[in-house]
Amino acid sequence: MKYYVYRHVRLDKNEVFYIGIGTKPNRDYESIKGEYTRAYTTVGRNKSWNNIIKHHKYKIEILFESNYKEEIWEKEIEFIKLYGRKDKGNGTLINKANGGKTAVGRIHSKEWRERQSKRMKGVNNPNFNKRNENSHNFGKKKSQYIKDKIGDANRGKKVSKEGCENMRKSQIGKHKGELNHMFGKTGKQCPSAKSVIDSKTKKVFASIKQAAEYLGIPKTRLAAYLRGDYPNKTTINYLN
């Protein structure tokens, strides 16, 4: 059997809280966890799922197996309907969809993706010709979940030598000299500047950079001292 439906059950209430489906790997597996990888993994779960397993133990049960994906989709819909969704107020499941082929996260066919791509191109795209503050996403912050997903997707990826060189060339001159928005600004003119004081001489500096130059040490080292990353070997402290 290639496909399966599984459920997760909270042990404190003996309550089913999640229904999912998985595909067995196309290789020999050494354990039940290897055979039913998706049922046992904690990666790629939603926030509600993670909140439950953080505080409660749970068990995994395989409900149904088949060689036909359509049959698995039908069973998933059947079981989700049986236990009901918590967000709909009719059950105990934290699933965010009703299951089946159209559920969130399903892989659509190549033909479907091509049709969607054509449908959303040009003037049909809701963001066509919109930029910056005109965009419906302007000012919206990414959730921590999305940030983590982006970080996981890019972690370990290396940019080729050619890619690094191209990025370097594209940035040359963009932020140098008068093109830099901080050009000519010092001390309190810098929005991120923090005043510091030499506790020994009582000399006040408008920024960490000025104090570092006065001491003859790198700005990054002095900043690390002030953050508490290392024991402060200087007499410099934040003014406030």
User: 158: helix, coil or strand?
Assistant: coil
Per-residue model confidence as pLDDT tens digits over 195-234: 889 988 989 988 888 889 888 899 888 988 988 888 888 9
Domain end position, chosen among 88, 122, 150: 88
Residue 18, in any domain of the structure: yes
How far is 186 from 112, CA to CA, in rounded Å? 56
Domain end position, chosen among 46, 65, 88: 88
- What range defines the domain where residue 81 resides? 3-88
How far is 204 from 57, CA to CA, in rounded Å? 57
Residue 153, in any domain of the structure: no
Burial 88-98 (b: 16+ CB within 10 A, else e): eeebebbbeee
pLDDT score for 110: 64
How far is 80 from 18, CA to CA, in rounded Å? 8
Residues in the chain: 240
How far is 77 from 20, CA to CA, in rounded Å? 10
Give me the half-sphere count of Cα atoms (radius 13 Å) on the Cβ side of residue 81.
8
Residue 137, in any domain of the structure: no
Domain end position, chosen among 66, 88, 110: 88
Domain count, the chain: 2
Backbone torsion region of residue 216, taken as left when φ is above 0, otherwise alpha when ψ lies between -120 and 50, otherwise beta: left
| Mean pLDDT of each 10-residue bin along the chain, 240 residues long | 94 96 82 88 90 95 92 93 94 91 58 71 69 54 69 74 75 65 62 81 88 89 88 87
Residue 149, in any domain of the structure: no
Residue 161, in any domain of the structure: no
Residue 113, in any domain of the structure: no
Beta strand segments in the chain, E: 3-10, 15-23, 58-66, 196-198, 204-205, 236-238
pLDDT score for 91: 95
Residue 214, in any domain of the structure: yes
Residue 29, in any domain of the structure: yes
Contact predicate 39/20, CB 8 Å = yes
DSSP letter for each residue of 173-224: TTSSGGGSTTTT--GGGSTT---EEETTT--EESSHHHHHHHHTS-HHHHHH
Q: How far is CA 105 from CA 115, 172, 228, in A?
A: 18, 41, 44
How far is 222 from 214, CA to CA, in rounded Å? 11
